[in-house]
Chain A
Amino acid sequence: MIATAPALVLTPAAPPPVVVEGLSKRFGDVVAINSVSFSVPAHSTTALLGGNGAGKTTTLSILLGLIAPTAGTVTVFGEDMARHRYRALPRMNFSSPYVDLPKRLTARENLVVYARLYGLRDVGRRITDLARDLDIGAFLDRPTGTLSTGQMTRLALAKALLNEPQLLLLDEPTASLDPDTADWVRGYLESYRAESGATILLASHNMAEVERLCDHVLMMRAGKVVDTGAPDALIARYGRRTLEEVFLHIARDLGGEAVP
């Protein structure tokens, strides 16, 4: 499915590519992130799970350097993002419903511009490969503003994969997609991680998606990480049947912590 690199040999002891310590972010009187610490295991697909306003998007934005934290440190690939984020950014990429690509440019033109911003040498070949892998060839030369939601999602994913990121941040990657397209995107992400060895951190409301894709979950509520673990482990710890029930338990602050 993905014509990139051969599958990587994963090193169990690889250091976590993302380490967050004591991270806080205030917007005036509003505390968006409240002294959060976590790390993202290398080569994992980790979910930031939480309700609206839990702080997921703000956390991802801070990891990308788009928002400066009020306190705490973020280290990506060993680089302090407050001082050396430009050393890490070439190895990262992201997709988010909160940003768009210029609508007057064609899909191909957008990819060319971003490929050049990331410093790719063989831009044409990379776009050809992505067009094949993501099935976007049919609309590459159409203005981006004329694309359907599903096509836009695939284009955004193509942009996010241009530089073959070793850390891929995805904010609600399948939001507003029909079930078929959403399933296709999930399948692609599974393949990408398996074949590239990349680490994926995604924010999602979709429990089935998280259960399918993720081997690690960070549960957030009101700007704090309130629990972490593998989906199965969380389900067992809270004595629930599904991750959705765990989510509701935490989101509604039903009292008590995990079932001993």
Chain B
Amino acid sequence: MRRDFHAPGSVFSWRRVAAMILRNLYVLRRSWPRILELAYWPTMQMVLWGFITTFFVQNSTWVAQAAGVLISAVLLWDVLFRSNLGIALPFIEEMWSRNLGQLFATPLRPYEFVVALTLMSAIRTVVAVAPASILALPFFDVWVFELGPPLIAFFVNVLVMGWSVGLVASGLVLRCGLGAESLCWFGVFLMAPVSGIYYPIASLPGWLQPVAWAIPASHVFEGMRSVLFDGVFRYDLLINAIALNVVYLGLAAGFFLYMFRVARHRGLLLQQGE
């Protein structure tokens, strides 16, 4: 008699998703330098932009109106960047480990793998950005949580956009091999100049503004400035960001799953590794 199993043939299993999250938590738990490194860069960014803010408050009437604008912006940008890495790095780690072939010979579905990556990304992002967000208060007297409930909406939207970028980068790495892994780091920065992180979209050249408005993060950063400068939470910007994110996340997940299918046809699942 075979042992007892949890419905191994089920179409979607949270247990399998949890197993993949557990696999990544084991790695994090075992390595305190990794946890420290996660929190290090956002904290350094916060400190750097904190000093820039201190300077600008005395020399720029624009920043003086809302001292937290640059620090809030850099932290939200870091959420986006870390969220992207939170998808891409655990995926690349499976390739480094030559583990993809093992994983996909189990009942684990590719879409369960994607769900696990997104949840792991959320965990890694919170671990990375929370210390910097809290330390901004004693360091620069900026309490980013002053943004209130809109902060949750901003956070979720940049998080989801990071997932989309991370899934596309991971799909390309799966297709092209580890030689393309740097995409996971610089891919998200392609959008930085037109995302309006530190300046209004209106300051971009006219021909570039439609490109900027096609990026969910632009709506988030504009919305953040609206709250900080005018005390107004603009639902129109939120709805735009959500709509764009829904479309892009669907496309990115579809792209990743398509690349997985291509990898099966090309025999790439067994050929990856350092």
Smallest CB separation, B191 vs chain A (Å) = 32
In this complex, what residue of B is CB-closest to A165?
Answer: B2
Are B99 and A67 within 8 A (Cβ)? no
- A66, A106, A113, A120: the one contacting B22 at CB < 8 Å is A113
| In the assembled complex, A105 has its CB within 8 A of some CB on chain B | yes
Report chain A residues within 8 Å CB of B131.
none
Are A98 and B22 within 8 A (Cβ)? no
Report chain B residues within 8 Å CB of A68.
261, 264-265
Are A117 and B16 within 8 A (Cβ)? yes
Q: Give complex CA distance A92, B4 in Å.
A: 15
Q: Give complex CA distance A193, B1 in Å.
A: 14
Q: Give complex CA distance A123, B31 in Å.
A: 25
Interface size in chain B (residues, C-beta < 8 A): 45
Q: A58-B267, A102-B27, A104-B27 are in contact. Are A118 and B8 (CB under 8 A)?
A: yes
In this complex, what residue of B is CB-closest to A109?
Answer: B26
In this complex, what residue of A is CB-closest to B272?
Answer: A99
Which residues of B99-154 are within 8 A (CB) of A? Answer: 99-109
Q: Give complex CA distance A61, B266 in Å.
A: 12
Are B107 and A118 within 8 A (Cβ)? yes
Q: A98-B98, A103-B97 are in contact. Are A114 and B270 (CB under 8 A)?
A: no
Q: A105-B27, A117-B19 are in contact. Are A99 and B270 (CB under 8 A)?
A: yes
- A61, A96, A114, A120: the one contacting B267 at CB < 8 Å is A61
Report chain B residues within 8 Å CB of A89.
105-107
In this complex, what residue of A is CB-closest to B105?
Answer: A64
Are B27 and A66 within 8 A (Cβ)? no
Are B264 and A99 within 8 A (Cβ)? no
Q: Give complex CA distance A90, B9 in Å.
A: 7
**Chain A contact patch, size range:** 35 or more
Are A99 and B102 within 8 A (Cβ)? yes
Are B27 and A90 within 8 A (Cβ)? no
Are B26 and A113 within 8 A (Cβ)? yes
Q: Give complex CA distance A103, B274 in Å.
A: 13
| In the assembled complex, A119 has its CB within 8 A of some CB on chain B | yes
Are A121 and B5 within 8 A (Cβ)? yes
| In the assembled complex, A180 has its CB within 8 A of some CB on chain B | no
| In the assembled complex, B197 has its CB within 8 A of some CB on chain A | no
Q: Mark A102-141, 1 if CB is under 8 A from B, else 0.
A: 1111100100111011111110001000000000000000
In this complex, what residue of B is CB-closest to A25?
Answer: B267
- A66, A105, A119, A163: the one contacting B269 at CB < 8 Å is A66
Q: Give complex CA distance A27, B93 in Å.
A: 26
Are A102 and B99 within 8 A (Cβ)? yes
| In the assembled complex, A172 has its CB within 8 A of some CB on chain B | no
Which residues of B1-47 are within 8 A (CB) of A? Answer: 1-9, 11, 13, 15-16, 18-20, 22-23, 26-27, 30-31
Q: Give complex CA distance A164, B6 in Å.
A: 14
Report chain B residues within 8 Å CB of A98.
98, 101, 270
Which residues of A46-88 are within 8 A (CB) of B? Answer: 57-58, 61, 64-68, 86-87
Report chain B residues within 8 Å CB of A164.
2-3
- B97, B105, B273: the one contacting A101 at CB < 8 Å is B97
- B1, B8, B31: the one contacting A90 at CB < 8 Å is B8
Report chain B residues within 8 Å CB of A99.
98-102, 270
Q: Give complex CA distance A159, B7 in Å.
A: 19
- A90, A104, A113, A126: the one contacting B30 at CB < 8 Å is A104
Report chain A residues within 8 Å CB of B105.
64-66, 89, 92-94
Q: Give complex CA distance A114, B8 in Å.
A: 12
Are B9 and A87 within 8 A (Cβ)? yes
Are A118 and B5 within 8 A (Cβ)? yes
- A27, A101, A104, A116: the one contacting B31 at CB < 8 Å is A104
In this complex, what residue of A is CB-closest to B109?
Answer: A86
| In the assembled complex, A257 has its CB within 8 A of some CB on chain B | no
Could you pull out 25 A-B pairs where Cβ atoms are within 8 angstroms? A5-B1, A64-B105, A66-B101, A66-B105, A66-B267, A67-B270, A86-B9, A89-B105, A89-B106, A94-B105, A96-B270, A98-B98, A98-B101, A98-B270, A99-B99, A99-B270, A102-B97, A103-B97, A113-B19, A113-B22, A116-B15, A117-B16, A118-B107, A121-B6, A159-B102
Q: Which B residues are closer than 8 A to A by beta carbons?
A: 1-9, 11, 13, 15-16, 18-20, 22-23, 26-27, 30-31, 93-94, 97-109, 261, 264-267, 269-270, 273
Q: Which A residues are closer than 8 A to B by beta carbons?
A: 5, 27, 57-58, 61, 64-68, 86-87, 89-90, 92-94, 96, 98-106, 109, 112-114, 116-122, 126, 159, 163-164
Q: A68-B265, A121-B6 are in contact. List 12 more A-B contacts (CB 8 A).
A: A94-B105, A98-B270, A99-B270, A100-B97, A102-B23, A104-B31, A106-B26, A113-B23, A118-B106, A119-B7, A119-B15, A120-B4
Sorted nearest first, the 8 A-B pairs with minimum C-beta distance are A90-B8, A116-B19, A119-B6, A99-B101, A119-B8, A100-B98, A117-B106, A121-B4
